[in-house]
Amino acid sequence: MFTLFKKLAAALAIAGVITTSLAVAMPAPADAAVASCGSGRCTIYLNKSETRAFANGYVPAPPTATPWQLKGAYYALAYGHRWIAQQYASWGWCSGFRLSVYPWESQGYFGYACNWN
């Protein structure tokens, strides 16, 4: 019974990855953001209007079944990033996200001086 559950969970995980990769691979216009991805690294640069939209954006609620500890961490991260985006937007800066599979590289949310709206 347990091996059947493990096989079912693995099949669902693989199906989820395939579905997500197909959704991500679909072409869509990216008018304002620029992404640079490759070799296990990805950096997304937002322009000034997207930084302002992120700063004034709506933070969606997590699922109701989420434990209160995770809800607290989620809201702290979401509103913390939103507050930082407000600071960047008030300075006239742009913001971006950097992710890497290498743990020694810098990762996270950052701001940079830009001249594109």
**Does the residue 6 lie in any domain?**
no
How does pLDDT run across 15-67, given as a tens digit for each residue? 454 555 444 445 555 456 788 899 999 999 999 988 999 899 888 888 999 99
pLDDT tens per residue, range 56-98: 988 888 899 999 999 999 999 999 999 999 999 999 999 999 9
Q: Would you say residue 11 lies in a domain? A: no
Q: Please, what is the Cα angle at 55 between 99 and 95, to 5 degrees? A: 40
Residue 33 confidence (pLDDT): 79
> Could you give the CA distance from residue 59 to residue 62 in angstroms, rounded to a whole number?
9
Domain count, the chain: 1
47: containing domain = 32-112
The reply to whether 19 falls in a domain is no
CA atoms of 89 and 53, how far apart (whole Å): 9
Give domain status of residue 75, yes or no.
yes
Is 66 inside a domain boundary? yes
Residue 97 is assigned to a structural domain of this protein: yes
Q: Are 95 and 51 in contact (CB under 8 A)?
A: yes
**Distance (Å) of CA 2 to CA 6, 8, 11, 44:** 6, 10, 14, 41
In a domain, 24, yes or no: no
Task: Give me the pLDDT at residue 5, please.
Answer: 52
Is residue 80 a part of any domain in this protein?
A: yes
